[in-house]
Each structure stands twice: as structure tokens, then as C-alpha cells.
């Protein structure tokens, strides 16, 4: 056992003494030590209840014959951090989380890990650490929040964001928005739509790193506690079998995860995170592979923000296993892969319910014939850009309009709220990429304002930043190379004609090669926005969004 390095033998008497100081017994130190990485705090709704989930995991570890050892990581709430300086820290915190789990696991020689987290960057950060460390590990999410209700209609956090735009447009009284904000988020859990947190917890099931039910069992359900106990028991079996993440996270597992991602209509952020997790296993996921999968994987669910259903509805309809079962029956999944249950995908899917035909549709009657995400290429995005095509109105799938150029999210939002954006415009927000932001901020505030003003079917928005999973409309992000790296987005000028053709996977600006070269010669690299601290270090090391915005390191094998 790895833990013998800190618990066994004469030379480790001082280490045992330190464990004894915390109340551990000699018998406990003879068992495998399982690190329980939690992110409970009083800042994030998805994490406020995680102490109870962690205690359930610890009970399961003891039931399985191990000794749980709890420690914590940071967790940023994207909703609270949105549209101000705080959002610069959101994506970079993913690397802090992965590094902190690595540091604790290596410094204290844990034999295995159970990773307890909710919300956007925390879940992928934990999975990155699991892949990097390659010791037995299971992810346990905190579960989705229940949807709110207002005037007989289900609502969620996105309703509040869009309400801000409606108030600004004069179509909603501010007093109505105050009522909505009290009802939109009724309790603990990750925000109730298919936003990034829930997307990643669902995708973790498809990857094989989480137990079936992880993505959809509500945070307030007793079944969530039972799942946590089961994870604690199962991680002990993983130790006995030496079943480690890199035996699970092969290329076929990522293909399964992407197929489920596309069928569910998940957040665009999942692409960044899956690329980062793949990086930790030693290979890359090429963006054009996503288009290949998207062409043949239908979208079977239409969850908020694209539709009216929420995670609780998906759970009642059979959850991720029901979606995977339908994909498997169509030959769109590899069923032979091993998972953290100790069983194969096929064994996990034995006896799962068939689609209900509404929340989860069948292969022959999908919501869309293609998957929920697409990658666009062209002279504005030579390395690619990502769009949640499942949340784009049909009339915006092909669009050409004049560029309205803004060098920050704040400037764009000011123009939107001031009524300076017209139908047909293509809003360009640049210098918000991984390096330029720094931190690749989410653009939920401007996209929600557009939706609240009724412009989401009339105006497109493109950026080298990214979008919340709650964003809907013709919102195209992750444009690479980013503007701060001298990418083509940096050269766009007010009034340039930009063409978006999602079916053809194209993103183009109408300039000649001579004009582009002349602008490139005049372009000057912007000054670094942050001169000290973690963000400054992050900006100097982060790679392109087309590589998952990981911190720079060794080259990796191409997919």
C-alpha cells in the first residue's frame, strides 16, 4: 500500500505519532488510507451541503474496510463571480484544485481518492487530479438543485439573469424580478439546468469515473447519500483490483463521454474540461473529432436553457443511464469499457429504462438529428470555436451581419443595456481569452441581457472568452487563436461583415488576404492586464482554448 510510506515500520513512528494526535487508532492505520477531497463551503449553493455527502462517503469507506482521511479544496461560484473581476479567477481555479488534490494525495501517500464536488471548475479539476495521480478514484457530485417555480412555470438562475435584460428593456417591472430571484434557486445543489456543473457530473458517468445516478440524483434526495456511501464502499474494491483512472480513461471512454454530451445538449465548457482531463492522461482530443461525432449523434434531450425541462425531470425519466442505453442500442457507444463500478458499460446498463419519449427521446425521433454542440472553423477561427447549436434558434443558424467590436465584456454589456445593439448585429467581444482575460471569463451577463430584451433570435455574439452553460442563442465562444495571441479576432474592425454558418461549421469575416496582412502588421500586442499574483502567472503559462486552456507543459499525443 502507498500509505505504508507514512504508517508502517520503525522509521515511520513519527508519522504514526502525528496521526495518533488526531485520534486515529493503530487499527485504522493498518487499513488503506482513502483521501476524501471535498469542497464544502458557505459560498456556493452546490457546496453548502457537501459536509453531509462527505460524511456518507466516509461511512462507505469504513464499511468497505478502509480509513477515510478528509481534506478540502477551493470552490468558486460562477454565478456570484459573474460579470466582474471575480470571473477572471473561475477557470484558473480549476488548475488550483487539480494541483491541491495532487499535493495532498502525494504528500500523504493516500491509497485512493473519493472526490466530492459540485459546480463548474471543481468537478473537472478533481477529475484532472484523478487522471494525473492515477490511483484508484471515484467522483461523487453533490447533485443538482431542484428547479424553482413562478406563476406555475419552472424557473432557474438563468431566469434571473434574463430578467435583468427584461427590466432594462422595460418589459418587466423590477418588483417582478425581485419575486423571481427569491424563487429561482429554492435550495442547495448545482443550478438546476443543463449548465456546466450538471453537464460535467453527467459526463463523469459516461467517462466511467462516477457511479450511475451521479449526474441527476437531486441534491436533497436521500438517494444522493446512498450513492455517496456506495462510492466509499466501491473505492475499496478499486484498491483491491488496482483499477486506476488511466485504465478507465482511454480514447474510447472519451468518445463515449462526447456522445453522451452531444445527446444531452451539454454546456460548451465540457469541451474545455474534457480536453484538460485528456491532457492529464497523455493525449489530446482534436476539435474536428467533435464534429464527426455530432453529425451522427442525435440530441435526445432539450433541457434548460434550451428547453423547459430540468435535471430533476431527466432523473425521473431514467437519467444518464437511459440516455446511454438508447445510444448503445443504436451502436453509438462502446459497451465493453470498464468503469468505477467494477463493471463494464454494458453491465451498468443492464435493465435500464427505455426513453420516455418526451424528456428523453428515441434515436428515431430526436429533438435534433445532430448533437447539441458544434465546432466552427474559418478565417476567424483557424483553430476552432465552439457553439451550443442545440440552444440556437433556427433563424440564427446561418447569419451574416456587421461586426460590433468591444475589447471587454463590460464595454459590450454597457452597449447592450444602453440599447445600442441592433437586430442583425454580430457582437464581437475580444481580449477575454485564457491569456487575454486573463482567465477566459463567461459571458452569461451579455447573452442573458440579449435574451431578456428579445434579441437572442436577432443578434449573434462571438468571443474568445466562453459562455455559461446557461447561455442560449447564437453565442460562439472559445475562438482560437485568441485575440491576445494575435489571432484573427484581434484584427476585426467595426462594420466588418461576419458570416456564421453553423450547419457548414464555418465562421468567416469578409476581408481579403491583403487587408488581413495589413491589419496584422499594424496590430500591437496588448499590455498584460494583471501585473502580479496568480492571474499574472496563469496568463504567462496558459495554452489556447483549442487545447483545453491547460497550463503549458509537455507535448501530448494527437488523438
- Residues with a known catalytic role: 468
* 3-class DSSP state of 226: helix
- d(C-alpha 470, C-alpha 151), whole Å: 21
The closest of 33, 206, 31, 213 to 136, measured between CA atoms, is 33
Q: Where are the alpha helices (DSSP H) in 184-330?
A: 196-207, 222-241, 245-248, 251-264, 269-281, 287-296, 311-316, 319-329
Contact 144, 198 (CB under 8 A): yes
Q: Three-state SS string across 60-94, please?
A: HHHHCCCEEEEEECCCCCHHHHCCCHHHHHHHHHH
* 3-class DSSP state of 265: coil
In the chain, count H helices and then E strands: 22, 14
Q: How big is the chain, counted in residues?
A: 559
Count of other CB atoms within 10 angstroms of residue 225: 18
Partners of 138 in the beta sheet?
Answer: 114
Cell of residue 295, nine digits: 453529425
Partners of 108 in the beta sheet?
Answer: none
167-176 — which CB contacts under 8 Å span 24+ positions? 167/452, 168/417, 168/449, 168/452, 168/453, 169/452, 169/453, 169/454, 171/452, 171/453, 171/454, 172/452
Contact 15, 6 (CB under 8 A): yes
Amino acid at each position: 500500500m502507498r500509505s505504508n510510506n507514512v504508517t508502517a515500520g520503525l522509521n515511520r513512528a513519527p508519522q504514526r505519532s502525528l496521526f495518533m494526535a488526531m485520534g486515529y487508532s493503530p487499527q485504522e492505520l493498518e487499513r488503506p488510507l482513502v483521501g476524501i477531497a471535498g469542497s464544502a463551503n458557505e459560498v456556493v449553493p452546490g457546496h453548502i451541503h457537501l459536509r453531509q455527502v462527505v460524511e456518507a462517503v466516509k461511512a462507505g469507506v469504513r464499511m468497505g474496510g478502509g480509513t477515510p482521511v478528509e481534506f478540502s479544496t477551493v470552490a468558486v461560484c460562477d454565478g456570484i463571480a459573474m460579470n466582474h473581476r471575480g470571473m477572471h479567477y473561475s477557470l484558473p481555479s480549476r488548475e488550483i484544485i487539480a494541483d491541491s488534490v495532487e499535493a495532498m494525495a502525494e504528500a500523504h501517500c493516500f491509497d485512493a481518492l473519493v472526490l466530492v464536488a459540485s459546480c463548474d471548475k471543481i468537478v473537472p479539476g478533481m477529475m484532472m487530479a484523478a487522471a494525473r495521480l492515477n490511483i484508484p478514484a471515484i467522483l461523487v457530485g453533490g447533485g443538482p438543485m431542484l428547479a424553482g417555480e413562478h406563476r406555475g412555470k419552472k424557473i432557474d438562475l438563468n431566469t434571473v439573469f434574463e430578467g435583468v435584460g427584461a427590466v432594462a428593456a422595460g418589459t418587466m417591472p423590477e418588483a417582478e424580478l425581485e419575486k423571481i430571484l427569491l424563487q429561482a434557486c429554492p435550495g442547495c445543489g448545482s443550478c438546476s439546468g443543463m449548465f456546466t456543473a450538471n453537464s460535467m457530473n453527467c459526463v463523469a458517468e459516461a467517462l466511467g469515473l462516477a457511479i450511475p445516478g451521479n449526474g441527476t440524483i437531486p441534491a436533497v434526495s436521500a438517494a444522493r447519500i446512498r450513492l455517496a456511501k456506495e462510492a466509499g464502499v466501491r473505492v475499496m474494491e478499486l484498491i483491491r483490483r488496482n483499477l486506476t483512472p488511466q485504465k478507465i480513461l482511454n480514447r474510447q471512454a472519451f468518445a463515449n463521454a462526447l456522445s453522451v454530451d452531444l445527446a444531452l445538449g451539454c454546456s460548451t465548457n465540457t469541451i474545455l474540461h474534457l480536453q484538460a482531463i485528456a491532457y492529464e492522461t497523455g493525449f489530446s482530443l482534436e476539435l474536428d473529432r467533435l464534429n464527426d461525432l455530432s453529425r451522427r449523434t442525435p440530441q435526445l434531450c432539450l433541457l434548460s436553457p434550451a428547453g423547459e425541462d430540468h435535471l430533476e425531470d431527466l432523473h425521473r425519466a431514467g437519467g444518464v443511464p437511459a440516455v446511454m442505453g438508447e445510444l448503445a442500442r443504436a451502436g453509438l457507444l462502446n459497451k465493453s469499457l470498464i468503469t468505477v463500478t467494477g463493471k463494464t458499460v454494458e453491465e451498468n446498463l443492464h435493465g435500464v429504462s427505455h426513453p420516455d419519449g418526451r424528456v428523453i427521446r428515441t434515436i428515431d425521433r430526436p429533438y435534433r438529428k445532430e448533437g447539441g454542440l458544434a465546432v466552427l472553423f474559418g478565417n476567424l477561427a483557424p483553430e476552432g470555436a465552439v457553439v451550443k447549436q442545440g440552444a440556437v434558434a433556427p433563424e440564427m443558424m446561418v447569419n451574416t451581419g456587421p461586426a460590433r467590436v468591444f475589447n471587454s465584456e463590460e464595454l459590450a454589456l454597457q452597449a447592450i443595456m444602453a440599447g445600442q445593439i441592433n437586430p442583425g448585429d454580430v457582437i464581437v467581444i475580444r481580449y477575454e481569452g485564457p491569456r487575454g482575460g486573463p482567465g477566459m471569463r463567461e459571458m452569461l451577463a451579455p447573452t442573458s441581457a440579449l435574451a431578456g430584451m428579445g434579441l437572442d433570435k436577432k443578434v449573434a455574439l462571438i468571443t474568445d472568452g466562453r459562455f455559461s452553460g446557461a447561455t442560449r442563442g447564437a453565442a460562439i465562444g472559445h475562438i482560437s487563436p485568441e485575440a491576445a495571441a494575435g489571432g484573427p479576432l484581434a484584427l476585426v474592425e467595426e462594420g466588418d461583415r461576419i458570416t456564421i454558418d453553423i450547419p457548414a461549421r464555418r465562421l468567416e469575416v469578409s476581408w481579403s488576404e491583403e487587408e488581413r496582412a495589413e491589419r496584422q502588421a499594424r496590430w500591437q500586442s496588448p499590455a498584460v492586464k494583471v501585473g502580479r499574483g496568480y492571474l499574472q502567472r496563469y496568463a504567462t503559462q496558459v495554452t489556447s482554448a483549442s487545447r483545453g486552456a491547460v497550463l503549458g507543459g509537455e507535448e501530448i499525443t494527437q488523438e
